[in-house]
Amino acid sequence: MTTTQQKTNENQAEPANLELSAEEVLMLQEMAEAGLLYGLMKKKTHPGMKPWIFATRSGVEIINLENTIKEISKVNEFLNKVSSNGKQILIVGTSPAAKGIAKEIAEETGQPYVNERWLGGTLTNFKVISNRIKHYNKLIADRESGALEKYTKKERLLIDKKLEKMKLLFEGIRNLTEMPGAMLVLDMPENIIAAKEASSLGIPVAAIINTDTDPKSVDYPIPANNRLGESIKLILNHLKNSIKKKEKIAEKPVDEALKTE
C-alpha cells in the first residue's frame, strides 16, 4: 500500500454521519436485510475496526452500514477508473461463501479471477506463472483441435488429469496477460497473502473486510459481513458496472481534435 493511500486510510475509519439520499436509505435497508451489518464476536475484533462498529449485540459486533455505503461509493469510483483505463481487475474469493460468486461476477464482467486457492507468486513471480498459463492454454487448444490424438490412450488420460489439476489454478486467470490494475478481494483475511503480493507491487487492493481485519491492510476497505454469500453478492451487484471490462478510449491527435471543434 502506498504512503499516500496509508494516509487516506487513517481518515477512512471515522464515523460516517451521512445525510443519506432516498436511494441510499433503500440501499441501507437492503443491506441490513441481507445481513451485511453482522460482524464477528467482539473478542475477535481488530482494534482498527472499532470506529466502523455501530454497537455490540449479544457479543456480536454490529457494523455501521452508513460507513459501508460510503466505502462502496469510493470503491465504485476507483474500480471504474481502473477499468476505464483498460486495465484488468483481478477478483479473488476462495472461501465457501465467496468462491462461486467470484467466478460468476468475473465471467459476467469479463475479468480474471481466483476462486480455488491463491498460488504463491501469481503476481510477484508473474513471468513464471505466465509461462504456465501459456502451457495450459496450449494443452486445451491441442485437445480441442485433436492434436492430442497422436498420443496413446494412456498418455491422453495422463494429460487429461494434468489439465484438471491445472484448471483449478489457472482457469480463472488464463486471460491475464499483464499485471492487473487492481485486485478485489471478497474474503479477507483468508486471502491476505494475495493482498500483500499486490500491495508489494504497487497494485491497489479493494476488499470486503469483516470486524477481524485491519482496515489498513488494504487500500479500499468495505466493512461488511463477508461470511454470507448473499452479503457478498449484494455488494458486488452495487460494484458490477464499475468492474465490467471496458475498452480504453484512445485519445484523439491534437490536430484531429481541433477539426471536430
Grid coordinates given for 94: 476462495
Question: What band does 9 get if pLDDT is binned at 50, 70 and 90?
Answer: very low
How confident is the model over 33-46, as a mean pLDDT? 96
CA atoms within 13 A on the CB side of 94: 18
Give me the domains of the chain, ranges plus CATH numbers: 20-123+179-243 (3.40.50.10490), 126-172 (1.10.287)
Can you tell me the mean pLDDT for 180-192?
A: 97
Looking at residue 72, its pLDDT comes to: 97
pLDDT of residue 30: 95
pLDDT of 10 > 60? The answer is: no
- Taking CA atoms, 104 is separated from 111, 112, 115, in Å, by 10, 11, 10
CB neighbour class for 149 (10 Å; exposed up to 12, middle 13-18, buried from 19) = exposed
Q: What confidence score (pLDDT) does residue 20 get? A: 77
Q: Is the pLDDT of residue 258 over 90?
A: no
- The answer, yes or no, to whether the previous bond of 221 is cis (omega within 30 of 0) is no
What is the pTM assigned to this prediction? 0.86
Mean pLDDT of 239-250: 84
pLDDT at site 22: 85
| CA separation for the pair 182, 160 (Å, rounded) | 33
**Among the listed residues 246, 134, 129, the one whose alpha carbon sits nearest the alpha carbon of residue 197:** 129
Comparing 88-97, 125-134, 242-251, which segment has the lowest mean pLDDT?
242-251
SS3 173: helix
Write out pLDDT tens, residues 46-79. Answer: 999 999 999 999 999 999 999 999 999 999 999 9
Q: Euclidean distance between the first and final Cα of the chain, in Å? A: 42
Question: Closest Cα partner for 51 from 38, 64, 60?
Answer: 64
- The pLDDT of residue 44: 96
Give the pLDDT confidence score for residue 146 in this predicted structure: 94
Asked if the model's pLDDT at residue 249 lies above 80, the reply is no
Q: What percent of the chain has pLDDT over 90?
A: 84
Answer yes or no: are the C-beta atoms of 243 and 184 closer than 8 Å: yes
Q: Quick one: pLDDT band at residue 21, thresholds 50, 70, 90?
A: confident
pLDDT at residue 248 greater than cutoff 70 = no
Average pLDDT over residues 212-238: 97
Nearest to 216 by CA among 57, 52, 34: 52
Predicted local distance difference test score (pLDDT) of residue 250: 53
